[in-house]
């Protein structure tokens, strides 16, 4: 029996209900936590404040969050933990705030971390890792943490009260879990644990394709519907099961590295992470020759405002310097693109981009969603995610 271990299942406890935060004081008390560093963005705190129980002010040490999961921000918050004697970290916010909270807890002596997601844009609340960026928002890599999150608290009302564009970005990131892993899962000899990862990846693709458009329409209309909850929970919870149980076979492959390549271009700095990954999904499908899937996803992308071509991103195939820059980042030695079967080089990525652009040449431009909220960025509230 081979399998694809190691397995990193996820948080020790998940409370997913309309009154989830009511349980936070009791959980902290049962874990003998008397002081906790509170990592949060201001907008996230504003959204969660109506649902936060009273009595936590005596427990929380204010940490704030300056907008990036960067080495400097992590070091600043670790110093606060050590100076205050905090015995835990509570993170509230989007993916970068939660990744920062996990990193701070790990580096401050593996103290417990408790997470409250306010966006359905990533599976950061579930996954036992953090993705790092520098202070200029450039991707640096990631680290897997040996200690799982102690508890996650999800109140769907808080997540529902987030920007729709971040939800759309999360939908693309959830879709990538299916596209990036299916070949690896198909080639692996799966044990029963890793089969959970494979089944979760399929579920991510299924939920997005079935309920994604309806979920976004419901969110825009202010309807906290079953479709919206299915898609939101797939992004926060199910997506985390893919890598948690799937091991290497459940890892990102080409879509995310292509998205990282796009992030290196100045012209894409205002685009949310998932929007760039969405284009990376199509490049991966072109690379693998899955043109039927490209065609199937076309209407979904158009409805959601996700890019089907470089033109939708404000880029051009004629700018060879930018295309080479995308490919160069995508195939860096540490890139997960090398988990694909065969050899991936800058030339193969460029060829996939050219093939995709030729295939999509006659499509109309989409009205692009997923731009970073400049007000949120300037106030270091809930910036981009991973």
Measured from the Cβ of residue 311, the count of other Cβ atoms closer than 10 Å reads 17
Residue with the larger pLDDT of the pair 188 and 357:
357
Quote the pLDDT of residue 5: 55
* Contact yes or no for 118/157 (Cβ under 8 A): no
Q: Does 332 count as an annotated binding residue?
A: no
Instruction: Judge whether 97 is annotated as a binding position.
Output: yes
173 is in an annotated binding site: yes
Q: Which residue has the higher pLDDT, 182 or 377?
A: 182
Look up the pTM and report it.
Answer: 0.91
Tell me: is residue 124 an annotated ligand-binding position.
Answer: no
Give the pLDDT band (50/70/90) at residue 370.
low
Residue 385 has pLDDT above 50, yes or no: no
| pLDDT in the model for residue 380 | 35
The answer to the question of whether 114 is labelled as a binding residue is: no
pLDDT score of 376: 41
Q: Per this entry, what is the length of the chain?
A: 386
* Structural domains present in the chain: 14-160 (3.40.50.1970), 164-378 (1.20.1090.10)
51 marked as binding residue: no
Q: Annotation-wise, does 95 bind a ligand?
A: yes
Output DSSP code: residue 5: -
Q: How confident is the model at residue 330 (pLDDT cuts 50, 70, 90)?
A: very high
| Spatial contact of 96 and 134, defined as CB atoms under 8 Å apart | no
95-134: burial string, b at 16+ Cβ within 10 Å, e else: bbbbbbbbbbbbbbeebbbbbbbbbbbbbbbbbbbbbbbe
Output the pLDDT for position 138. Answer: 78
β-strand pairing of 113-117 with 14-16:
unpaired
- For the record, the structure tokens of 280 come out as 């990376």
pLDDT band of 378, cuts 50, 70, 90: very low
Residues 72-93: tens digit of each pLDDT: 999 999 999 999 999 999 999 9
Residue 379: pLDDT over 70: no
| Ligand-binding site membership of 155 (annotated) | no
Average pLDDT, the chain: 91
Q: Which pair of structure tokens corresponds to residue 251?
A: 């890892």
Please write the tens of the pLDDT for every residue from 191-243: 899 999 999 999 999 999 999 999 999 999 999 999 999 999 999 999 999 98
> Residues of the chain with pLDDT > 90: what percent?
76
Asked whether the predicted pLDDT for residue 386 surpasses 90, the reply is no
pLDDT bucket at 133, cuts 50 / 70 / 90? confident
Is 201 labelled as part of a ligand binding site? no
Question: In this structure, are residues 272 and 171 in contact, taking their beta carbons and an 8 Å threshold?
Answer: no
Please check if 244 is assigned to a binding site.
Answer: no
- Tens-digit pLDDT profile for residues 254-263: 999 999 999 9
256 is in an annotated binding site: yes
Say if residue 102 carries a ligand binding annotation. Answer: no
The C-alpha atoms of residue 3 and residue 335 are separated, in whole angstroms, by 23
Whether 99 has a binding-site annotation, put simply, is: yes
Question: What's the rounded mean pLDDT across residues 270-291?
Answer: 95
> Annotated binding residue at 96?
yes
Range with the lowest mean pLDDT among 6-10, 185-189, 299-303, 364-368? Answer: 6-10
Reported as a single tens digit per residue, the pLDDT across 136-188 is: 877 888 899 989 999 999 999 999 999 999 999 999 999 999 999 998 888 88
Confirm if 192 and 183 have CB atoms less than 8 A apart: no
* 118 known member of a binding site: yes
């Amino acid at each position: 029996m081979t399998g694809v271990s190691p397995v990193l299942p996820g948080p020790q406890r998940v409370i997913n209900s309309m009154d989830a935060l009511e349980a936070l004081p009791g959980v902290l008390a049962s874990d003998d936590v008397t002081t906790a560093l509170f990592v949060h963005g201001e907008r996230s705190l504003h959204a969660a404040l109506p649902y936060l129980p009273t009595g936590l002010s005596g427990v929380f040490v204010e940490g704030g969050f300056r907008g990036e999961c960067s080495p400097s921000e992590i070091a600043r918050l670790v110093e606060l933990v050590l100076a205050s004697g905090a015995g835990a970290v509570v993170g509230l916010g989007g993916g970068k705030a939660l990744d920062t909270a996990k990193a701070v807890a790990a580096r401050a002596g593996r103290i417990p971390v408790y997470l409250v997601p306010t966006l359905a844009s990533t599976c950061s609340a579930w996954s036992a890792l953090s993705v790092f960026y520098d202070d200029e928002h450039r991707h640096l890599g990631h680290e897997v943490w040996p200690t799982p999150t102690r508890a996650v608290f999800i109140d769907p009302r808080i997540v529902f009260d987030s920007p729709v564009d971040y939800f759309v970005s999360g939908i693309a990131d959830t879709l990538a879990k299916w596209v990036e892993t299916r070949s690896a899962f198909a080639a692996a000899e799966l044990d029963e644990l890793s089969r959970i990862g494979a089944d979760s990846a399929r579920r991510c693709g299924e939920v997005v394709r079935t309920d994604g458009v309806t979920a976004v329409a419901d969110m825009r209309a202010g309807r906290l519907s079953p479709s919206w909850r299915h898609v939101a929970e797939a992004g926060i919870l199910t997506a985390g099961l893919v890598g948690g149980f799937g091991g290497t076979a459940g890892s990102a492959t080409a879509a995310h590295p292509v998205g990282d390549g796009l992030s290196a271009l100045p012209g894409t700095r205002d685009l949310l992470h998932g929007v760039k990954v969405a284009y990376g999904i199509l490049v991966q499908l072109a690379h693998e020759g899955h043109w039927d899937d490209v065609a199937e996803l076309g209407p979904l992308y158009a409805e959601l405002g996700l890019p089907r071509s470089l033109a939708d991103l404000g880029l051009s195939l004629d700018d060879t310097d930018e295309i080479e820059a995308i490919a160069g980042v995508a195939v860096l030695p540490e890139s997960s693109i090398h988990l694909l079967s065969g050899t991936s080089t800058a030339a193969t990525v460029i060829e996939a981009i050219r093939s995709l652009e030729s295939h999509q040449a006659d499509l109309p431009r989409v009205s692009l969603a997923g731009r970073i909220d400049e007000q949120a960025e300037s106030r270091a509230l809930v910036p981009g995610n991973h």
